[in-house]
């Protein structure tokens, strides 16, 4: 038989995907001439046997075969669980026995009560007839009292013993439940690689496999200072694969599976009249056999494909190493983390930095005072970096102060995006009603409602502020009701058919601006206007 050689191969690199990870282990083995079986055991049970790849690097060695098999360790809990289950059943029987004793004592007390009533009636008749005296009556009462007291004492003793037995039963059931929750026999994956060496040699064995229960997601720290936007592009890595990843080379990939394993293809969409149901065959009729097929109406034959545990053999050529911090492969992007990162199993997230860079931001404010007298700070940014920004949560900071969180969509290099940075209390907004007049009209004439608003904007920032103000006038849904914008202190930069007005004001530090607009609503006097 070929010699078996244990492979000591710690984790050397991990590529994490949004829905899994590929783990690379590397180790050195000493090979004698001839056949040898290199065994790597203790791999996590979440590893996919079909994904195992083995490469041997050594001029005098050739990889012949690779086999992946499941292995189970002994279950040390089986005997303990049997013992705990037997102990719980013993205490359960003890509690039941005490319940039976208590029921027997209750029956005895009931019988003694009925007997006392009958004896009392008989003694009363004997005393009245002169056959017994008061001493006899007192002796009988003492006897019944002592008997009842003894029975009640035994009941109290049984109750105390039951409480103690119930506590022991509860504790035994808790111990049994805890033992049953603990994992049973550990399942691991073992890889056996058959290697042929032409001469005594040392060879490096690279072993890789795919595991589920691992993922990464992008995070962002975005800080605005003036017109400079500092972006911290982070990655949060989590894994529950059953093995800890020590400090090793970490690569993040955007490769993920689609909703279809193959390219989705549309099929013809047929419509027509409902199909008439086929007539049922007469009772006892034999099914008609179609040439080359199953009986008509029979279920189609189901084919099962067995999955082998044999992993495919990889040629000896080494894969291309990752040498750049960012790369593209087909439709995916990979990021190589420059500093080794340790990620323990158990789901505790580990955050690492992908990149840090600065972007230019065009900062402005937006206010809609008809809804809220607040100015919202926003930044229009062009992604001038070479990084593809993936969807993820972003923490926002403005001048060193935390302003909230938002969700960043996918932003390609060169693409423009907008960030909303919350309310800026240093830009004050006020909107007030200047006029609301209703003209008097005679019967059948036109009545006019005249309304005017004033919006004031004050800049208390240390620098200039560009503020976009949006307001609106009513839109009539009735042909007899006419709405007309009569005047504005400044011509709106934009006016839509839905009555929205927009102005943009640039204010120096400490300066204020006022926008006024006036509109009228004309309607027949007999018509009531709703919505104003």
pTM over 0.95: no
Q: Hey, how many other C-beta atoms are within 10 angstroms of the C-beta on 33?
A: 12
Residue 285 binned pLDDT confidence (cut-offs 50, 70, 90): very low
The domain tally of the chain equals 2
Which residue has 């049922």 as its token pair? 280
Say if residue 313 is exposed, middle or buried (CB neighbours under 10 Å; 0-12, 13-18, 19+).
Answer: middle
For residues 129 and 72, give the distance between their C-alpha atoms in angstroms, rounded to a whole number: 90
3-state secondary structure 430-450: EEEEEEEEECCCCCCCEEEEE
Q: What are phi and psi of 149, to 5 degrees?
A: -60, -40
Please indicate, yes or no, if residue 377 is contained in any of the structural domains. Answer: no
Please indicate, yes or no, if residue 251 is contained in any of the structural domains. Answer: no
Identify which has the larger pLDDT, 278 or 306.
278
Number of helical (H) and strand (E) elements in the chain, helices listed first: 2, 25
pLDDT digits (tens, 9 = 90+) for 470-511: 999 999 998 889 999 999 998 999 999 999 999 999 999 999
The percent of residues in the chain predicted with pLDDT above 90, rounded, is 41
Q: Which 8-state DSSP code applies to residue 59?
A: T
pLDDT at 353 over 80: yes
SS3 89: helix
pLDDT digits (tens, 9 = 90+) for 146-202: 888 888 888 899 999 999 999 999 999 988 888 777 655 557 888 998 988 888 888
446-458 burial by CB neighbour count: b if 16+ within 10 A, else e?
Answer: ebbbebbbbbbbb
Write the CATH number for 501. Answer: 2.60.40
Identify which has the larger pLDDT, 295 or 60.
60
pLDDT digits (tens, 9 = 90+) for 33-59: 889 899 988 888 888 998 999 999 877
**166, 181, 196 — which closes off a domain?**
181
CA 485 from centre of chain: 52
- Of 230-239, 330-339, 375-384, the one with minimum mean pLDDT is 330-339
**181, 213, 240 — which closes off a domain?**
181
Say if residue 365 is exposed, middle or buried (CB neighbours under 10 Å; 0-12, 13-18, 19+).
Answer: buried
- 83: tokens are 């013992």
For residues 362 and 71, give the distance between their C-alpha atoms in angstroms, rounded to a whole number: 61
SS3 188: strand
Contact 254, 390 (CB under 8 A): yes
Please indicate, yes or no, if residue 317 is contained in any of the structural domains. Answer: no
For residues 79 and 190, give the distance between their C-alpha atoms in angstroms, rounded to a whole number: 27
pLDDT at 317 over 50: no
Please indicate, yes or no, if residue 314 is contained in any of the structural domains. Answer: no
Q: Closest Cα to residue 52, out of 210, 213, 194?
A: 210
Please indicate, yes or no, if residue 516 is contained in any of the structural domains. Answer: yes
Name the strand (E) or helix (H) holding 104.
helix 77-129
DSSP 280-336: PPPTTPPPPBPTTSPBTTPPPPP---PPP-BPPPPPSPPPPPP-SSEEEETTEEEEE
Please indicate, yes or no, if residue 382 is contained in any of the structural domains. Answer: no
- Of 6-20, 107-121, 207-221, 285-299, the one with minimum mean pLDDT is 285-299
Say if residue 67 is exposed, middle or buried (CB neighbours under 10 Å; 0-12, 13-18, 19+).
Answer: middle
pLDDT digits (tens, 9 = 90+) for 76-89: 566 778 888 899 99
Q: Quote the pLDDT of residue 469.
A: 95
Q: In degrees to the nearest 10, what's the CA dihedral of 495, 500, 505, 510?
A: 160
Mean pLDDT of 128-135: 74
Residue 373: partners with Cβ closer than 8 Å, 6 or more residues away:
367, 429, 430, 431
- In the Cβ-directed half-sphere of 95, how many Cα atoms lie within 13 Å? 15
Contact 202, 31 (CB under 8 A): yes
Residue 270: partners with Cβ closer than 8 Å, 6 or more residues away:
none
Domain containing 482 equals 427-524
Average pLDDT, whole number, for the chain?
A: 82
SS3 87: helix
Name the strand (E) or helix (H) holding 114.
helix 77-129
Q: Quote the pLDDT of residue 257.
A: 59
Please indicate, yes or no, if residue 510 is contained in any of the structural domains. Answer: yes
Say if residue 350 is exposed, middle or buried (CB neighbours under 10 Å; 0-12, 13-18, 19+).
Answer: middle
Contact 447, 524 (CB under 8 A): yes
Mean pLDDT of 356-374: 94
Residue 398 binned pLDDT confidence (cut-offs 50, 70, 90): confident
Please indicate, yes or no, if residue 84 is contained in any of the structural domains. Answer: yes
pLDDT at 287 over 80: no
For residues 132 and 471, give the distance between their C-alpha atoms in angstroms, rounded to a whole number: 111
**164, 181, 198 — which closes off a domain?**
181
Cα distances (Å, whole numbers) of residue 485 to 72, 205, 473, 521: 82, 81, 8, 9
DSSP 135-180: HHHHHHHHHHHHHHHHHHHHHHHHHHHHHHHHHHHHHHHHHHHHHH
């Amino acid at each position: 038989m070929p010699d078996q050689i244990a492979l000591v191969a710690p984790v050397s690199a991990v590529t994490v995907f949004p829905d899994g990870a590929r783990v690379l282990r590397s180790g050195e083995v000493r090979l004698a001439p001839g056949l040898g079986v290199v065994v790597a055991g203790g791999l996590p049970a979440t590893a996919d046997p079909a994904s195992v790849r083995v490469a041997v690097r050594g001029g005098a060695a050739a990889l012949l075969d690779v086999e992946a098999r499941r292995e189970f360790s002994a279950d040390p809990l089986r005997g303990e669980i049997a013992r705990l289950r037997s102990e719980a059943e013993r205490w359960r029987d003890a509690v039941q026995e005490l319940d039976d004793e208590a029921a027997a004592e209750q029956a005895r007390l009931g019988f003694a009560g009925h007997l006392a009533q009958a004896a009392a009636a008989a003694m009363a008749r004997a005393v009245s007839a002169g056959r017994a005296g008061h001493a006899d009556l007192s002796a009988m009462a003492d006897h019944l009292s002592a008997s009842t007291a003894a029975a009640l004492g035994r009941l109290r003793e049984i109750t105390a013993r039951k409480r103690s037995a119930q506590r022991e039963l509860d504790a035994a059931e808790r111990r049994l439940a805890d033992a049953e929750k603990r994992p049973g026999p550990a399942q691991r994956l073992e890889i056996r690689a058959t290697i042929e060496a032409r001469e005594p040699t040392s060879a490096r064995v690279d072993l890789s496999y795919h595991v589920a229960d691992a993922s990464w997601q992008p995070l962002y720290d975005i800080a605005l200072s003036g017109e400079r936007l500092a972006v911290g592009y982070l990655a949060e890595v989590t894994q529950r694969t059953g093995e800890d990843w020590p400090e090793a080379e970490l690569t993040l990939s955007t490769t993920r599976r689609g909703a279809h394993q193959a390219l989705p293809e549309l099929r013809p969409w047929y419509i027509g009249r409902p199909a008439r149901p086929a007539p049922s065959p007469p009772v006892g009729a034999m099914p008609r056999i179609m040439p080359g097929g199953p009986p008509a109406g029979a279920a189609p034959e189901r084919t099962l494909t067995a999955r082998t545990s044999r992993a495919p053999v990889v040629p000896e050529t080494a894969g291309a190493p990752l040498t750049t911090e960012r790369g593209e492969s087909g439709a995916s992007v990979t990021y190589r983390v420059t500093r080794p990162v340790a990620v323990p199993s158990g789901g505790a997230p580990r955050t690492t930095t992908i990149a840090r860079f600065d972007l230019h931001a065009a900062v402005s404010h937006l206010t809609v005072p008809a809804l809220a007298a607040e100015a919202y700070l926003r930044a229009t940014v062009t992604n001038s970096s070479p990084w593809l920004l993936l969807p993820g949560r972003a923490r926002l900071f403005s001048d060193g102060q935390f302003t909230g969180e938002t969700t960043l969509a996918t932003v390609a290099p060169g693409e423009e995006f907008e960030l909303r940075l919350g309310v800026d209390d240093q830009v004050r907004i006020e909107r007030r009603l200047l006029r609301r007049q209703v003209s008097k009209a005679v019967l059948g004439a036109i009545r006019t409602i005249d309304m005017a608003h004033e919006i004031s904007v004050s800049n208390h920032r240390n620098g200039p502020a560009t503020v976009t103000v949006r307001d609106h006038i009513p839109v009539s849904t009735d042909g007899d009701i006419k709405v007309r914008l009569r005047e504005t202190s400044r011509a709106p930069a934009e006016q839509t058919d839905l009555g929205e007005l927009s102005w943009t004001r640039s204010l120096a530090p400490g300066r204020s601006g006022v926008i006024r607009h006036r509109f009228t609503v004309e309607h027949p006097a007999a018509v009531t206007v709703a919505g104003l």
